Structure 1
């Protein structure tokens, strides 16, 4: 009987094990992925590593109907894409820009042997803006200007909900590049030049997309931290150009946002960068993708290539002799998914069969991709249900409006703003009544869903006579005749509002000057916009400049001659209302610059956290230094900083302390300000920056109200990557600086000694 019992017990255990099935939703995502891998062929596993652009985005042999700068049919060969999906040789698609296609693709995948659903991704950079009708929030540079990470998290949550409702589950966001060169066209896609600000905004964005638990539950999606690494300071300002940096600079400046994304926010995917680092392209950099990313930082998701950047290991970098070698090297180096293009599948399968790539490496990559799909719930509902009307759309637009309000940066004001009940207003400029207000990574939206600057002013000033000259929304339409007409119209107005800047519209034929792969060797206003501005100012009437741009522009003449300047960046579909509210005084401006504005292109690189020796010499023919400093932004209120103190004047290397300052709103309006804390290590084993942002807090104060703002200063905030090539707090003299911007004139210095 005992023997029978043992046999029955063993049989029960065997049956229990046998009952474990990848279809069992009670198992963890990782367990289910491991079980499913055992049933998959090599070809099906490699298929999971293949991502293609959606068929409707680029028709084979025809290129892109949208005339997108990067959408070509090069190597696409997707005539047999449907058969590939049916064979299980495709794991993901990107740029699925219609719900109809999202449903059709998932139904197609259900015809494969195992019915593994597809992971459908999109560049939801500032809202799900590549889908018409979804909310277009302000761009990332706008959001950085709010210094409000909690608002960024809310936008991430709302974006994820709208993505889910359109059958999409993966966003290629946030962009964690540190933008240190205004010539580079992607500045507007980033959170600016500072590591801490980018880390905080990026971390909260990921929390919004994925949820705080990092499990993509409910209405969340999987995020993608990009681009690993250091693409925001390219040689010559050109996208994808080489980058040579020390390990110290990499760890202190470019890596912190990825550390926060991985360790704090548990980001699910990472995208490699276009560029090379110290001679090794990022897409083939095993130290970067394995030793640093996985072994040191503990990243446990999967790594995706950027658009056809694996092929560029051969065609652009000239690092390997052909694309086949590029495909193999990328897998060996740590890339788990190939974005866009043919021949990758065949090359990787052949490399495994030849013994060059072990199948365990394929299991690792495919397993992580499958685990994300399981965690997203795709296996339980592979074919999405698409509502006709977006749930929450009205509330989301109010969020977009509030974000636009908080991100507008007032750079100059001689008292002209807020406007004092003018009777006649002249609104002029190519960006005054244009969807350039949406920024990059947005398709044209219905005019009913976009509030331009002109729309906003008409609504805010219904009894004011508004004359216009908008040049058809095209910078290239500004010509000598138009400039002369503007001078004439400006003379008849009580106040002139000149809306100038750049055009980042990816999907238009309006002449892009900014955005991805739109880098410039000149930071002045493009076209004849400078002449336009000078003509309006020459009228002698008060002139307000509204600057709409995706990069910091060197507008020194405007600073000297305009009465007021409002840097609007690209504030999204509700931006026109927000701009009008600020100009008319309904909203008190509160945005702060997340980048330093260079005086001219010849002074690039211009950043706030420079080394002491950078300005030991001065330029011979122009004033040296920034046009406006990082962290700067005016208000209609006057904020007074007083009683700045430290809880200790001496600490040990492992001790913490508190810094505090009292902020008073001396009026005459209620308003917000951003309290900023910087630290300077006076002397170290390696030279240190003049100051580094280590904490900030956005506060709201009524007219006449005061508050005490307190910060904790921890050892981590004092440490550096010293000569010992490790993180440590070095004993010595430090200075804690508290104030409203990075400018020394706005900061109160407090000495601190570390023993």
Structure 2
């Protein structure tokens, strides 16, 4: 298929007749539209017939027939249900005949972030042994455990973490992807797990999407070339002895289909484009993955043509399983079936009938889904034919994976081998990936590569921060709340630089704020995006920290002192960084390099002989914006005008043509926004979430749950996973939760525009003492509004929206005027949203924003 994808690259937007050769399935009528999104016009589209490297084996099919004939209805239903380890016991596995289990991002045995390898294998054994128990007439079908190892085994401390997909796309090296897949499979096998929910084969078309970094490219060329190789690395070569052997695992192509085409880059939204675009752009990764014999496909949260993918019979059954010949299993995504109109997380027969084979149901009440499916199968609402087809597919994958013969996880050849987790040879592969993924955008006066024996200042908050350089899906789901010690064996950017420079007789000095006592020969500044994952990573525009110019100021400060500046930019997507590029002599996108930060130093420094050590090989697989609102921006677009085009990247032999005069007007676009988001699924940059107890213990929220002396806060669900925060005050003394920032912010434009603070709140236990909404500009500068009665009125009413006009904040602090804060106050806001009480209170909040005009005609509380 790769030659066909190359042709696609030469003819962007064209229909590739070669891709369609041999197809005979046509769609003549589009599914009915809903009010969710306008339906694309119905067109005739032919999908390819795929020949898989894994052929159907009559002996396997006969074995499945024999098992199906013996299975009870209860045993069949159990194969369809995939709970989360937090809510599944071995006894549950036995009682409900559970066929598979998962651990979500950041979910670990015993909810212990630092669970040792032995705990993973022990839990895997307990589930397996329960599943194969044949007492009371049970057949004993082995369970399989799936995990999100999207850039290495991210949930397990000490594993090798590779650069994220956006970085790998810049390598243009499909064979490297195969090796990364192989290494990932080995480290998964060490834990005793069977199944990787990877690779993500999305073609991200709007860089505002929080999962853009999980995509190899905006263009199907690279995605099509990479997907099959990654599957081969994970599973082994289809049709050979390596296929799903003891050092390989089941792979999953996800998320079917079109997740990268979501409207406005909003996660889980409607996929844009007609069916031809769905095939030619978003289908590329599935075509090569299916050719390589991928055994699982995960359905997308998105919708197309007005229908959610978890209920899209035409695409799941007619196209994927029918025309393209996929004979593996289709697994759902994190209760994705509940998005189907009329469905809930525990009641959705429509999804199975549409073509889903396994329900991913991470809710604590997953047993209700089992019981409902059982009742629906008995009533005929779920047909026997569809039920048997789903179970047949699950059994086929389990038999192909050898789960009936491999035995308990602890007995398998690689299980528990600590020396393989983060092994030096595995880290060497990751380090190669780092070296090949770096994209140099600017190199004024050929500053790079640097001589090793210099005085080097290493600055920026990403310099010695392995969590930041690793990004999302790293130890925790969002990649937040980690410290360097959470990555044993890893190397930070600074550590890699220090090793190279010190060995050559130079001196590397770490100084996050850029201060120094001895003037350096060169400054290397490492900065960029903080970690994020799905949903919480969505942004409204592509300006890099428009309201927080601290990194830009640092670059300018160093340059003003006559120090050459090298910028190493950590990012999960192309961003508008014109100001930072102008303030740099050299600018390199290092993406999110993972645990092997030493690979950066390999490239930016010369070798011991003073020659190029490794050249800059990375080339952009995503177009780089010229303006912060220039999105979507993709190769082949009409009026395509990026700052750096798809395929751009300087090598050391190339002449730099970039000056210091790029337009710096981008922040004006941010200032002109009618809505300033402060919290949307997560604190939005530059805001940070913290709690302050009565003992003056300030605790930043850097994990799912944190506690102070008089309150605690935890991530909870409102509309989607962990998009809200629950705060519980214990009444021991004054406690405060605040969205705050270190540098004062200018709100005068909002204050003068009838703005209001708007947020959602749910009260589960009424306040026992006066509770204030506080707007603050420092320790002795605050304005409070009494929300006690309003909160009492919300008790038991579910989620409510609160709108507080800025004009309502009263005189209450040293810097405030007689009736209201003076205009000067609104230029020094530090905490636009805080809740303070001395009593007991249990509430949750979500969606905190400042909205222009929202305060007009709204009465004060």
What TM-score, normalized by structure 1, do the two folds share?
0.70
- Cα distance in 2 for partners of 1:409, 1:201 equals 19
- Whether the aligned pair in 1 keeps the contact of 2:443 and 2:585 (CA below 8 Å) is yes
Q: 2:302 matched to 1:275? A: yes
Q: CA deviation at 1:516?
A: 5.0
Q: 2:100 matched to 1:92? A: yes
> What does residue 39 of structure 1 align with?
70
Closer/same/farther in 2, CA of residues 358 and 515 from structure 1, 3 Å limit: closer
Q: 2:334 matched to 1:334? A: no
- Cα distance in 2 for partners of 1:547, 1:294 equals 42
Closer/same/farther in 2, CA of residues 372 and 419 from structure 1, 3 Å limit: same
Closer/same/farther in 2, CA of residues 175 and 433 from structure 1, 3 Å limit: same
Q: 2:407 is paired with a residue of what secondary structure?
A: coil
Which of residues 615, 633, 636 in structure 1 aligns to 2:649?
A: 633
- Cα distance in 2 for partners of 1:122, 1:252 equals 29
More RCO (CA 8 Å, sep 6+) = 1
Q: 1:579 is paired with a residue of what secondary structure?
A: helix
String of CA shifts for 1:222-280, please: whole Å, max 9, x gaps: 11010111121322322112223211211211112212211x21211101111111211
- Cα distance in 2 for partners of 1:455, 1:198 equals 33
Q: 2:336 is paired with a residue of what secondary structure?
A: coil
Q: CA deviation at 1:469?
A: 2.4
Q: 2:509 matched to 1:467? A: yes
- Whether the aligned pair in 1 keeps the contact of 2:160 and 2:427 (CA below 8 Å) is yes
Q: 1:588 is paired with a residue of what secondary structure?
A: coil
RMSD: 2.2
Q: 1:546 is paired with a residue of what secondary structure?
A: strand
- Whether the aligned pair in 2 keeps the contact of 1:457 and 1:577 (CA below 8 Å) is no
Q: 2:212 matched to 1:187? A: yes
Q: CA deviation at 1:136?
A: 1.3
> What does residue 25 of structure 2 align with?
none
Q: 2:593 matched to 1:571? A: yes
String of CA shifts for 1:425-463, please: whole Å, max 9, x gaps: 211111110112222222156454111111001101002
Which of residues 547, 551, 557 in structure 2 aligns to 1:529?
A: 551
Q: 2:167 matched to 1:167? A: no
Q: CA deviation at 1:490?
A: 9.4
- Cα distance in 2 for partners of 1:170, 1:609 equals 37
Closer/same/farther in 2, CA of residues 244 and 419 from structure 1, 3 Å limit: closer
Q: 2:560 matched to 1:538? A: yes
- Cα distance in 2 for partners of 1:117, 1:535 equals 62
- Whether the aligned pair in 2 keeps the contact of 1:490 and 1:539 (CA below 8 Å) is no
- Cα distance in 2 for partners of 1:606, 1:447 equals 35
Which of residues 253, 262, 271 in structure 2 aligns to 1:234?
A: 262
- Whether the aligned pair in 1 keeps the contact of 2:237 and 2:292 (CA below 8 Å) is yes
What are the equivalent positions in structure 2 for 1:342-381 lying under 5 Å apart?
Answer: 342=366, 343-381=368-406
> What does residue 309 of structure 1 align with?
336
Aligned length: 550
Closer/same/farther in 2, CA of residues 292 and 491 from structure 1, 3 Å limit: farther
- Cα distance in 2 for partners of 1:538, 1:41 equals 76
- Whether the aligned pair in 1 keeps the contact of 2:150 and 2:198 (CA below 8 Å) is yes
- Cα distance in 2 for partners of 1:267, 1:395 equals 26
Q: 1:602 is paired with a residue of what secondary structure?
A: coil
Q: CA deviation at 1:515?
A: 5.2
> What does residue 50 of structure 1 align with?
81
Residue range with higher mean Cα deviation, 278-287 or 537-546: 537-546
String of CA shifts for 1:460-505, please: whole Å, max 9, x gaps: 10022323223xxxxxxxxxxx5xxx3x53992221111011122x
Which of residues 445, 448, 453 in structure 1 aligns to 2:493?
A: 453
- Whether the aligned pair in 1 keeps the contact of 2:443 and 2:586 (CA below 8 Å) is yes
String of CA shifts for 1:395-428, please: whole Å, max 9, x gaps: 1111111111111111111111111356322111
String of CA shifts for 1:61-109, please: whole Å, max 9, x gaps: xxxxxxxxxxxxxxxxx3x743321124311111274222112221222
> What does residue 755 of structure 2 align with?
none
- Cα distance in 2 for partners of 1:217, 1:387 equals 17
Closer/same/farther in 2, CA of residues 338 and 183 from structure 1, 3 Å limit: same
Which of residues 173, 177, 183 in structure 2 aligns to 1:152?
A: 177
Q: 2:470 matched to 1:438? A: yes
Q: 2:428 is paired with a residue of what secondary structure?
A: helix
Residue range with higher mean Cα deviation, 103-112 or 401-410: 103-112
What are the equivalent positions in structure 2 for 1:200-211 lying under 5 Å apart?
Answer: 200-211=225-236
Q: 2:223 is paired with a residue of what secondary structure?
A: helix
What TM-score, normalized by structure 2, do the two folds share?
0.61
Q: CA deviation at 1:357?
A: 1.4
Q: 1:83 is paired with a residue of what secondary structure?
A: helix
- Cα distance in 2 for partners of 1:232, 1:371 equals 30
- Cα distance in 1 for partners of 2:186, 2:180 equals 10
- Whether the aligned pair in 2 keeps the contact of 1:145 and 1:409 (CA below 8 Å) is yes
- Cα distance in 2 for partners of 1:49, 1:493 equals 62
- Whether the aligned pair in 1 keeps the contact of 2:498 and 2:507 (CA below 8 Å) is no
> What does residue 697 of structure 1 align with?
none
